[in-house]
Amino acid sequence: MTYVEHLMFHRVVPASVLAVVAAGFAQSIWMILYKPWSKTRNGAWAAKAAEISGSAIGSSQMLLIYRLLAFLWCNAVAVIQFADKGFFVLKYYTVWNYYLMIIFFALATLHSFLDIQRQQAATSKTSKAANKPVTGLGYFVVTLFHINLTTVFIVDVLTWGLLWPMLKANPDPTRVEFFTNQLFNFTSYNQHGFNFVLMVGETFLNRIPFYPYLLGYVGMWTSFYGIWAFINFSSSGKWMYPFLDASQPWAPFAYLGLFAVHWVFFGFVILLLQIKYWILQYFQTSRQQLEVQMAKVK
């Protein structure tokens, strides 16, 4: 019996793979506790409620409607998928992240609604309403925003750039047909494509500040799935994704690569936010120049 066959037969996860996951989890804890690159020790707790419910390009009501529609749409997609495939879908990292995005839009909608109601009730105390510190609900919204904006990059790029090429390379035509049906359908397009559109739309609409240390929560979230994948393998003897197969000789490097990918895509998040700031600054400058020109005409 070869080493790989031994691991598969006894359903053992190599110590080297466990060490990689443990190191990633420890790094995540460190980032959350020590908040590197943060301007204040309070981190996301320094955010203001108005920043979470306010819109960068429109009204708070417009952002509320967007979040509500996104929640209703994603919830409908999840219901359709669950009705078709049942509890089995809960084993996939994609579905974990899609459900987490549903939770984000639900909490963000609730926060927007409550903050709009609070501001309307505080018409005589406008400055105090605008500077109201973030609540526990607001902190969850900020944290989930950072997690989801990063994981939509990870899920979509890895699905079409890594998972699909590996699946279609299967020598069994019937398996390839099965994988094709699993990936090329309505719910899959929503969970491996339109999820990115929804989060980018949220990004350009909201005013949520950026906190780099929240990458720690992204790593922790992925570590939780890795731990669950080990538990699922020990009970079923199957890996949900071929690149998670810890019995392969390249497994430690694959797991290292997956954690490194989080840093790469967090960099894409930073780039996306920078593009947002550039666009907003450009239109703000153009508007100011137009107002100056109109004032001269008058």
Per-residue pLDDT tens digits for 259-283: 888 889 988 999 999 999 999 888 7
Is the predicted pLDDT of residue 226 greater than 80, yes or no?
yes
pLDDT of residue 93: 95
Query: Chain-wide mean pLDDT for the chain?
Result: 87
pLDDT of residue 288: 57
- Of 32-46, 76-90, 137-151, 196-210, the poorest mean pLDDT is in 32-46
- Of 41-45, 73-77, 169-173, the poorest mean pLDDT is in 41-45
Structure confidence at residue 104 as a pLDDT band (50, 70, 90): very high
pLDDT of residue 132: 76
Is the predicted pLDDT of residue 6 greater than 90, yes or no?
no
pLDDT of residue 99: 98
Structure confidence at residue 60 as a pLDDT band (50, 70, 90): very high
* Contact criterion met (CB below 8 Å) for 38 and 212: yes
Is the predicted pLDDT of residue 206 greater than 90, yes or no?
yes
Per-residue pLDDT tens digits for 116-143: 998 888 765 555 555 677 889 999 999 9
pLDDT of residue 5: 47
What's the chain look like in SS3?
A: CCHHHHHHHHCCCCHHHHHHHHHHHHHHHHHHHHCCCCCCCCHHHHCEHHHHHCECCCCHHHHHHHHHHHHHHHHHHHHHHHHHHHHHHHHCHHHHHHHHHHHHHHHHHHHHHHHHHHHHHCCCCHHHHHCCECCHHHHHHHHHHHHHHHHHHHHHHHHHHHHHHHHHCCCCHHHHHHHHHHHCCHHHHHHHHHHHHHHHHHHHHECCCCCHHHHHHHHHHHHHHHHHHHHHHHHHCCCCCHHHCCCCCCHHHHHHHHHHHHHHHHHHHHHHHHHHHHHHHHHHHHHHHHHHHHHHHC
User: Which residue's entry shows tokens 């020990």?
Assistant: 234
| Cα–Cα distance for residue pair 244/226, rounded to 1 Å | 8
| Cα–Cα distance for residue pair 245/230, rounded to 1 Å | 10
